[in-house]
Chains A and B, each alone.
Chain A
Amino acid sequence: MTRFILPFIIFIVLAAFLYVGLSLNPREVPSPLIGKAAPAFTLPQLYEPAKQFSPQDMKGKVWLFNVWASWCTACAQEHPLFVELAQRNLVPIVGMDYKDKRENGIEWLRRGGEAYNLVVSDFDGRVGIDYGVYGVPETYLIDKQGIIQYKQIGAVTPQVLREKILPLIAELQAK
Protein backbone atom coordinates (compact mmCIF):
# COMPACT_ATOMS: atom_id res chain seq x y z
CA MET A 1 0.00 0.00 0.00
CA THR A 2 2.66 2.51 1.02
CA ARG A 3 4.54 1.97 -2.24
CA PHE A 4 1.62 3.55 -4.11
CA ILE A 5 1.45 6.65 -1.95
CA LEU A 6 4.56 8.39 -3.30
CA PRO A 7 3.75 7.96 -7.02
CA PHE A 8 0.21 9.08 -6.26
CA ILE A 9 1.44 12.27 -4.56
CA ILE A 10 3.76 12.97 -7.50
CA PHE A 11 0.85 12.46 -9.87
CA ILE A 12 -1.36 14.87 -7.92
CA VAL A 13 1.34 17.56 -7.87
CA LEU A 14 1.97 17.20 -11.62
CA ALA A 15 -1.75 17.26 -12.36
CA ALA A 16 -2.17 20.43 -10.28
CA PHE A 17 0.68 22.18 -12.10
CA LEU A 18 -0.69 21.14 -15.50
CA TYR A 19 -4.22 22.17 -14.56
CA VAL A 20 -3.11 25.67 -13.62
CA GLY A 21 -0.51 25.99 -16.38
CA LEU A 22 -2.72 24.85 -19.22
CA SER A 23 -5.67 27.00 -18.20
CA LEU A 24 -3.58 30.18 -18.48
CA ASN A 25 -3.80 32.09 -21.73
CA PRO A 26 -0.27 32.51 -23.17
CA ARG A 27 -1.52 35.46 -25.25
CA GLU A 28 -2.21 37.46 -22.13
CA VAL A 29 1.02 39.10 -21.17
CA PRO A 30 0.63 40.77 -17.78
CA SER A 31 1.21 44.47 -18.20
CA PRO A 32 3.88 46.10 -16.05
CA LEU A 33 1.99 49.37 -16.43
CA ILE A 34 -0.80 48.56 -14.00
CA GLY A 35 -0.46 50.80 -10.97
CA LYS A 36 1.79 53.17 -12.90
CA ALA A 37 1.07 56.54 -14.42
CA ALA A 38 -0.40 56.41 -17.91
CA PRO A 39 2.43 57.40 -20.28
CA ALA A 40 2.14 60.97 -21.49
CA PHE A 41 1.65 61.73 -25.17
CA THR A 42 0.29 64.38 -27.45
CA LEU A 43 -1.54 63.12 -30.52
CA PRO A 44 -3.69 64.75 -33.21
CA GLN A 45 -7.38 64.04 -33.09
CA LEU A 46 -8.84 61.84 -35.79
CA TYR A 47 -11.60 64.20 -36.91
CA GLU A 48 -9.69 67.43 -36.51
CA PRO A 49 -5.97 66.67 -36.88
CA ALA A 50 -5.15 70.27 -36.05
CA LYS A 51 -6.45 69.74 -32.51
CA GLN A 52 -4.42 67.69 -30.10
CA PHE A 53 -5.14 65.55 -27.11
CA SER A 54 -3.01 64.50 -24.21
CA PRO A 55 -3.89 62.34 -21.16
CA GLN A 56 -3.31 65.32 -18.87
CA ASP A 57 -6.56 66.75 -20.25
CA MET A 58 -8.39 63.98 -18.39
CA LYS A 59 -6.87 64.65 -14.94
CA GLY A 60 -9.51 64.44 -12.24
CA LYS A 61 -11.68 62.04 -14.25
CA VAL A 62 -11.89 58.29 -14.40
CA TRP A 63 -11.72 57.36 -18.09
CA LEU A 64 -11.44 54.47 -20.51
CA PHE A 65 -8.77 54.42 -23.16
CA ASN A 66 -9.60 52.01 -25.97
CA VAL A 67 -7.03 51.15 -28.66
CA TRP A 68 -8.63 50.02 -31.91
CA ALA A 69 -8.14 49.94 -35.68
CA SER A 70 -10.37 49.60 -38.71
CA TRP A 71 -8.43 46.49 -39.82
CA CYS A 72 -9.06 44.68 -36.55
CA THR A 73 -11.91 42.15 -36.41
CA ALA A 74 -12.07 41.79 -32.64
CA CYS A 75 -12.54 45.57 -32.39
CA ALA A 76 -15.74 45.30 -34.42
CA GLN A 77 -16.90 42.64 -31.97
CA GLU A 78 -16.46 44.76 -28.88
CA HIS A 79 -17.48 48.06 -30.44
CA PRO A 80 -21.27 47.76 -29.85
CA LEU A 81 -20.50 47.43 -26.13
CA PHE A 82 -18.71 50.78 -26.16
CA VAL A 83 -21.53 52.37 -28.14
CA GLU A 84 -23.96 51.17 -25.50
CA LEU A 85 -21.69 52.26 -22.68
CA ALA A 86 -21.36 55.72 -24.23
CA GLN A 87 -25.15 56.07 -24.27
CA ARG A 88 -25.25 55.35 -20.55
CA ASN A 89 -22.85 58.24 -20.07
CA LEU A 90 -21.07 56.59 -17.14
CA VAL A 91 -17.52 57.30 -18.07
CA PRO A 92 -15.66 59.22 -20.79
CA ILE A 93 -14.20 56.94 -23.44
CA VAL A 94 -11.21 58.00 -25.49
CA GLY A 95 -10.41 55.94 -28.57
CA MET A 96 -7.03 55.61 -30.23
CA ASP A 97 -6.94 54.59 -33.87
CA TYR A 98 -3.79 52.47 -34.03
CA LYS A 99 -1.68 52.03 -37.19
CA ASP A 100 -4.53 52.89 -39.49
CA LYS A 101 -5.44 55.25 -42.32
CA ARG A 102 -7.46 58.32 -41.40
CA GLU A 103 -10.23 57.76 -43.95
CA ASN A 104 -10.55 54.06 -42.98
CA GLY A 105 -10.84 54.97 -39.32
CA ILE A 106 -13.52 57.58 -39.95
CA GLU A 107 -15.45 55.23 -42.24
CA TRP A 108 -15.27 52.45 -39.63
CA LEU A 109 -16.70 54.74 -36.94
CA ARG A 110 -19.44 55.96 -39.27
CA ARG A 111 -20.56 52.36 -39.79
CA GLY A 112 -20.00 51.02 -36.28
CA GLY A 113 -21.47 53.99 -34.45
CA GLU A 114 -19.92 56.67 -32.30
CA ALA A 115 -18.72 55.48 -28.96
CA TYR A 116 -15.91 57.85 -28.16
CA ASN A 117 -15.94 61.27 -26.57
CA LEU A 118 -12.76 61.83 -28.50
CA VAL A 119 -10.58 59.85 -30.91
CA VAL A 120 -6.85 60.30 -31.41
CA SER A 121 -4.78 58.82 -34.22
CA ASP A 122 -1.57 56.91 -33.59
CA PHE A 123 -0.75 55.99 -37.17
CA ASP A 124 2.89 55.08 -36.65
CA GLY A 125 2.19 53.11 -33.46
CA ARG A 126 4.67 54.92 -31.23
CA VAL A 127 2.24 55.76 -28.46
CA GLY A 128 1.04 52.17 -28.74
CA ILE A 129 4.55 51.02 -27.87
CA ASP A 130 4.61 53.32 -24.84
CA TYR A 131 1.40 51.71 -23.65
CA GLY A 132 2.73 48.21 -24.26
CA VAL A 133 0.17 47.55 -26.99
CA TYR A 134 1.01 44.37 -28.87
CA GLY A 135 -2.29 43.79 -30.60
CA VAL A 136 -5.65 45.47 -30.84
CA PRO A 137 -8.04 45.87 -29.16
CA GLU A 138 -6.62 46.78 -25.80
CA THR A 139 -8.45 48.85 -23.21
CA TYR A 140 -7.08 50.75 -20.24
CA LEU A 141 -8.96 52.10 -17.25
CA ILE A 142 -7.24 55.19 -15.90
CA ASP A 143 -8.12 56.81 -12.57
CA LYS A 144 -8.43 60.45 -11.47
CA GLN A 145 -4.71 60.68 -10.72
CA GLY A 146 -3.81 59.35 -14.17
CA ILE A 147 -2.81 55.89 -12.90
CA ILE A 148 -3.60 52.84 -15.04
CA GLN A 149 -5.81 50.62 -12.89
CA TYR A 150 -6.82 47.91 -15.33
CA LYS A 151 -5.86 46.64 -18.75
CA GLN A 152 -8.02 44.46 -20.93
CA ILE A 153 -6.07 42.54 -23.56
CA GLY A 154 -8.32 41.57 -26.45
CA ALA A 155 -11.97 42.37 -26.88
CA VAL A 156 -14.01 43.52 -23.88
CA THR A 157 -16.84 41.04 -23.37
CA PRO A 158 -20.17 41.82 -21.72
CA GLN A 159 -19.07 39.65 -18.80
CA VAL A 160 -15.76 41.47 -18.29
CA LEU A 161 -17.55 44.81 -18.54
CA ARG A 162 -20.20 43.81 -16.03
CA GLU A 163 -18.02 41.97 -13.54
CA LYS A 164 -14.73 43.83 -13.67
CA ILE A 165 -14.73 47.15 -15.49
CA LEU A 166 -18.01 48.69 -14.30
CA PRO A 167 -17.52 47.87 -10.59
CA LEU A 168 -13.96 49.21 -10.78
CA ILE A 169 -15.19 52.42 -12.45
CA ALA A 170 -17.77 52.94 -9.69
CA GLU A 171 -15.13 52.31 -7.04
CA LEU A 172 -12.62 54.69 -8.60
CA GLN A 173 -15.20 57.42 -9.17
CA ALA A 174 -16.25 57.25 -5.53
CA LYS A 175 -12.68 57.93 -4.39
Chain B
Amino acid sequence: MKYLSILLLCLLPVFSYAGDAKDMAEDPVLEKRMIGLAENLRCLVCQNESLASSHAELAEDLRREVREQMRKGMNDKEIIDYLVARYGDFVLYDPPVKKTTLILWYSPFVLLLIGAGTLIHKLRKRTSQNAEEAELSAEDTRRAAELLNQPPETAQRVAESSNQSNGHSARFPHPNPLPQAGEGANESLRDTRN
Protein backbone atom coordinates (compact mmCIF):
# COMPACT_ATOMS: atom_id res chain seq x y z
CA MET B 1 0.00 0.00 0.00
CA LYS B 2 2.78 2.38 1.06
CA TYR B 3 4.85 1.59 -2.05
CA LEU B 4 1.84 1.95 -4.27
CA SER B 5 1.10 5.42 -2.97
CA ILE B 6 4.77 6.44 -3.41
CA LEU B 7 4.64 5.12 -6.94
CA LEU B 8 1.46 7.09 -7.61
CA LEU B 9 3.06 10.22 -6.16
CA CYS B 10 6.02 9.74 -8.48
CA LEU B 11 3.64 9.55 -11.40
CA LEU B 12 1.93 12.78 -10.37
CA PRO B 13 4.10 15.06 -12.56
CA VAL B 14 3.09 13.02 -15.60
CA PHE B 15 -0.57 13.81 -15.05
CA SER B 16 -0.03 17.40 -14.04
CA TYR B 17 1.84 18.26 -17.23
CA ALA B 18 0.39 21.57 -18.31
CA GLY B 19 1.16 21.69 -21.98
CA ASP B 20 2.69 24.59 -23.89
CA ALA B 21 1.47 28.06 -23.08
CA LYS B 22 -1.01 29.12 -25.71
CA ASP B 23 0.22 31.70 -28.16
CA MET B 24 -1.10 35.16 -27.40
CA ALA B 25 -2.02 35.55 -31.02
CA GLU B 26 -2.69 32.96 -33.64
CA ASP B 27 -0.03 34.64 -35.70
CA PRO B 28 3.43 34.63 -34.05
CA VAL B 29 4.92 36.88 -36.75
CA LEU B 30 2.29 39.53 -36.10
CA GLU B 31 2.76 39.14 -32.35
CA LYS B 32 6.49 39.73 -32.74
CA ARG B 33 5.88 42.82 -34.85
CA MET B 34 3.36 44.11 -32.29
CA ILE B 35 5.80 43.60 -29.39
CA GLY B 36 8.57 45.30 -31.38
CA LEU B 37 6.37 48.34 -31.89
CA ALA B 38 4.95 48.35 -28.37
CA GLU B 39 8.43 48.33 -26.82
CA ASN B 40 8.89 51.89 -28.06
CA LEU B 41 5.55 53.05 -26.68
CA ARG B 42 4.85 54.10 -23.14
CA CYS B 43 2.05 52.63 -21.07
CA LEU B 44 -0.20 55.48 -19.89
CA VAL B 45 -1.08 53.81 -16.62
CA CYS B 46 2.28 52.61 -15.29
CA GLN B 47 4.30 55.30 -16.90
CA ASN B 48 7.73 53.75 -16.58
CA GLU B 49 6.73 50.59 -18.35
CA SER B 50 6.47 50.07 -22.06
CA LEU B 51 3.23 49.10 -23.70
CA ALA B 52 4.81 45.72 -24.44
CA SER B 53 5.67 44.82 -20.86
CA SER B 54 2.82 46.41 -18.93
CA HIS B 55 0.10 44.27 -17.39
CA ALA B 56 -2.30 47.15 -16.95
CA GLU B 57 -5.70 46.50 -18.47
CA LEU B 58 -5.42 49.53 -20.70
CA ALA B 59 -2.10 48.25 -22.05
CA GLU B 60 -3.76 44.93 -22.89
CA ASP B 61 -6.56 46.74 -24.67
CA LEU B 62 -4.09 48.86 -26.59
CA ARG B 63 -2.06 45.80 -27.58
CA ARG B 64 -5.29 44.24 -28.84
CA GLU B 65 -6.02 47.42 -30.77
CA VAL B 66 -2.51 47.43 -32.30
CA ARG B 67 -2.83 43.76 -33.25
CA GLU B 68 -6.15 44.40 -34.98
CA GLN B 69 -4.80 47.34 -36.90
CA MET B 70 -1.82 45.30 -38.04
CA ARG B 71 -4.20 42.65 -39.25
CA LYS B 72 -6.05 45.36 -41.16
CA GLY B 73 -2.77 46.07 -42.93
CA MET B 74 -1.87 49.42 -41.35
CA ASN B 75 1.84 50.14 -41.24
CA ASP B 76 3.76 51.01 -38.07
CA LYS B 77 3.67 54.74 -38.72
CA GLU B 78 -0.09 54.77 -39.16
CA ILE B 79 -0.54 52.86 -35.91
CA ILE B 80 1.76 55.24 -34.03
CA ASP B 81 -0.15 58.21 -35.47
CA TYR B 82 -3.38 56.59 -34.30
CA LEU B 83 -2.08 56.35 -30.73
CA VAL B 84 -0.53 59.84 -30.75
CA ALA B 85 -3.85 61.31 -31.93
CA ARG B 86 -5.47 59.90 -28.81
CA TYR B 87 -2.82 60.05 -26.13
CA GLY B 88 -0.38 62.65 -27.42
CA ASP B 89 3.40 62.50 -27.79
CA PHE B 90 3.43 61.17 -24.27
CA VAL B 91 3.08 57.59 -25.58
CA LEU B 92 6.33 57.92 -27.51
CA TYR B 93 9.64 57.09 -25.86
CA ASP B 94 11.24 58.95 -28.75
CA PRO B 95 9.37 62.26 -28.92
CA PRO B 96 9.55 64.30 -32.15
CA VAL B 97 11.48 67.56 -32.37
CA LYS B 98 9.02 70.46 -32.14
CA LYS B 99 8.72 73.79 -30.39
CA THR B 100 7.84 72.30 -27.02
CA THR B 101 10.59 69.69 -27.14
CA LEU B 102 13.42 71.97 -28.29
CA ILE B 103 14.87 72.23 -24.79
CA LEU B 104 14.62 68.49 -24.35
CA TRP B 105 16.52 67.79 -27.55
CA TYR B 106 19.09 70.56 -27.70
CA SER B 107 19.87 71.68 -24.16
CA PRO B 108 22.46 68.89 -23.65
CA PHE B 109 24.44 70.18 -26.63
CA VAL B 110 24.15 73.78 -25.46
CA LEU B 111 25.40 72.76 -22.01
CA LEU B 112 28.24 70.82 -23.61
CA LEU B 113 29.25 73.88 -25.66
CA ILE B 114 29.12 76.13 -22.61
CA GLY B 115 31.23 73.64 -20.66
CA ALA B 116 33.79 73.25 -23.44
CA GLY B 117 33.95 77.04 -23.94
CA THR B 118 34.56 77.64 -20.25
CA LEU B 119 37.25 74.96 -20.15
CA ILE B 120 39.10 76.35 -23.18
CA HIS B 121 38.86 79.90 -21.84
CA LYS B 122 40.25 78.87 -18.44
CA LEU B 123 43.07 76.81 -19.96
CA ARG B 124 44.12 79.66 -22.28
CA LYS B 125 44.14 82.09 -19.39
CA ARG B 126 46.28 79.76 -17.34
CA THR B 127 48.94 79.17 -20.04
CA SER B 128 49.28 82.88 -20.79
CA GLN B 129 49.68 83.55 -17.07
CA ASN B 130 52.37 80.90 -16.78
CA ALA B 131 54.21 82.35 -19.75
CA GLU B 132 54.19 85.79 -18.13
CA GLU B 133 55.51 84.42 -14.88
CA ALA B 134 58.24 82.45 -16.65
CA GLU B 135 59.67 85.57 -18.33
CA LEU B 136 62.34 87.42 -16.37
CA SER B 137 61.64 91.03 -15.68
CA ALA B 138 64.41 93.64 -16.07
CA GLU B 139 64.76 93.71 -12.30
CA ASP B 140 65.21 89.91 -12.18
CA THR B 141 67.88 90.01 -14.88
CA ARG B 142 69.73 92.80 -13.09
CA ARG B 143 69.67 90.85 -9.81
CA ALA B 144 70.81 87.65 -11.47
CA ALA B 145 73.75 89.47 -13.09
CA GLU B 146 74.59 91.10 -9.76
CA LEU B 147 74.64 87.71 -8.03
CA LEU B 148 76.92 86.23 -10.64
CA ASN B 149 79.36 89.12 -10.67
CA GLN B 150 79.61 89.86 -6.96
CA PRO B 151 82.25 88.44 -4.63
CA PRO B 152 80.78 85.51 -2.63
CA GLU B 153 79.88 87.38 0.63
CA THR B 154 77.83 90.02 -1.12
CA ALA B 155 76.26 87.40 -3.33
CA GLN B 156 75.18 85.46 -0.28
CA ARG B 157 73.73 88.54 1.33
CA VAL B 158 71.73 89.29 -1.77
CA ALA B 159 70.56 85.70 -1.88
CA GLU B 160 69.61 85.69 1.81
CA SER B 161 67.68 88.92 1.54
CA SER B 162 65.75 87.49 -1.37
CA ASN B 163 65.18 84.28 0.61
CA GLN B 164 63.59 86.24 3.37
CA SER B 165 61.26 88.02 1.05
CA ASN B 166 60.26 84.70 -0.42
CA GLY B 167 58.61 82.35 2.06
CA HIS B 168 59.29 79.17 0.17
CA SER B 169 63.06 79.26 0.09
CA ALA B 170 63.19 80.20 3.74
CA ARG B 171 61.46 76.99 4.71
CA PHE B 172 63.18 74.67 2.26
CA PRO B 173 66.95 74.81 2.24
CA HIS B 174 68.46 75.79 -1.08
CA PRO B 175 69.64 72.65 -2.88
CA ASN B 176 73.05 74.22 -3.67
CA PRO B 177 73.80 76.64 -0.88
CA LEU B 178 76.52 79.09 -1.71
CA PRO B 179 79.75 78.08 0.00
CA GLN B 180 80.68 80.00 3.16
CA ALA B 181 83.46 82.55 2.98
CA GLY B 182 86.91 81.14 3.83
CA GLU B 183 85.97 77.53 3.00
CA GLY B 184 87.55 77.54 -0.42
CA ALA B 185 84.85 79.80 -1.73
CA ASN B 186 87.17 81.50 -4.14
CA GLU B 187 88.20 78.24 -5.71
CA SER B 188 84.67 77.02 -6.09
CA LEU B 189 83.62 80.33 -7.56
CA ARG B 190 86.48 80.18 -10.00
CA ASP B 191 85.53 76.60 -10.82
CA THR B 192 82.05 77.51 -11.78
CA ARG B 193 83.23 80.37 -13.91
CA ASN B 194 85.71 78.28 -15.84
Contact = CB atoms under 8 A, between A and B. Distances in A.
B95 interface: no
Interface in B64-94: 65, 84-90
A134 B90 CA distance: 12
Interface residues of A, number: 18
Contacts of B87: 29, 32, 132, 134
A29 B44 contact: yes
A125 B61 CA distance: 7
Given A99-B57, A125-B61, A129-B65, A134 B88 contact: no
A27, A33, A124, A129 — most chain B CB neighbours (10 Å): A129
A134 B44 contact: yes
What is the predominant secondary structure among interface residues of chain B facing chain A? helix
B61 A134 contact: no
A30 B90 contact: yes
B110 to A, nearest CB: 13
A33 B44 contact: no
Given A99-B57, A129-B65, A134-B58, A29 B90 contact: yes
B65 A134 contact: no
B47 interface: yes
A31, A124, A125 — most chain B CB neighbours (10 Å): A125
B58 A29 contact: no
B62 interface: yes
Contact of B88 (A27, A30, A125, A128): A30
Interface residues of B, number: 15
Given A26-B47, A134-B45, A125 B58 contact: yes
Given A134-B45, A135-B45, A32 B61 contact: no
B62 A32 contact: no
Interface in B117-174: none
A32 B44 contact: no
B88 A31 contact: yes
Nearest to B84: A32
B192 to A, nearest CB: 47
Nearest to A99: B57
Contacts of A30: 88, 90
A120 B85 CA distance: 23
A96 to B, nearest CB: 15
Interface string A102-139: 00000000000000000000001110111110110000
Contacts of B90: 29-30
Nearest to A6: B118
A31 B88 CA distance: 6
Interface string A1-37: 0000000000000000000000000110111110000
A32 B45 contact: no
A33 B47 contact: no
B57 A32 contact: no
B103 to A, nearest CB: 10
Interface of A: 26-27, 29-33, 99, 124-126, 128-132, 134-135
13 contacts: A29-B88, A32-B84, A32-B85, A32-B89, A33-B86, A126-B65, A129-B61, A129-B62, A129-B65, A131-B86, A134-B44, A135-B44, A135-B45
Q: Which 10 A-B pairs have the closest CB atoms?
A: A134-B44, A132-B86, A32-B88, A29-B90, A125-B61, A132-B87, A134-B58, A134-B45, A30-B88, A129-B65
